[in-house]
Amino acid sequence: MTHVWVTGASGRMGRALIESAYLTEGVSLFGASVRRTSSLIGVDVGELIGHGTLGVAVTDALPAATISQGAVIDFTTREATLNHLAWCVDQRCPIVIGTTGFTPDEERVIAKAAESIAVVYAPNFSVGVNVVLDLLDRAARVLGDTVDIEVLEAHHRHKVDAPSGTALAMGQAVAGALGRDLDRVAVYGREGHTGARPRDQIGFATVRAGDIVGEHTVLFAADGERVEITHKASDRRTFADGAVRAAAWAVNQSPGLYTMRQVLGLD
Give the pLDDT confidence score for residue 36 in this predicted structure. Answer: 92
**Amino acid present at 130:** N
Going by C-alpha positions, the residue among 70, 29, 34, 25 that lies closest to residue 51 is: 29
pTM above threshold 0.85: no
Other Cβ atoms less than 10 A from the Cβ of 234: the count is 10
| Residue pair 157/209 in contact by the 8 Å Cβ criterion | yes
Q: What would the pLDDT profile of 89-102 be if each residue is shown by its tens digit?
A: 999 999 999 998 89
Mean local confidence (pLDDT), 46-68: 89
2-121+236-263: CATH topology is Rossmann fold (3.40.50)
Give the pLDDT confidence score for residue 7 in this predicted structure. Answer: 97
Q: What would the pLDDT profile of 125-178 be if each residue is shown by its tens digit?
A: 999 999 999 999 999 999 988 999 999 999 999 998 999 999 999 999 999 999
Give the residue numbers marked as catalytic. 155, 159
DSSP line for 54-114:
-S-BEESS--SS--TTEEEEE-S-HHHHHHHHHHHHHHT--EEE------HHHHHHHHHHT
Give the pLDDT confidence score for residue 65 in this predicted structure. Answer: 82
SS3 category, 197? coil
CA distance 255 to 63: 21
Report the CATH superfamily, name and number, of domain 127-233: Dihydrodipicolinate Reductase; domain 2 (3.30.360.10)
Domain ranges for the chain, please list them. 2-121+236-263, 127-233
Which DSSP letter does residue 32 get? E
pLDDT > 80? residue 189: yes
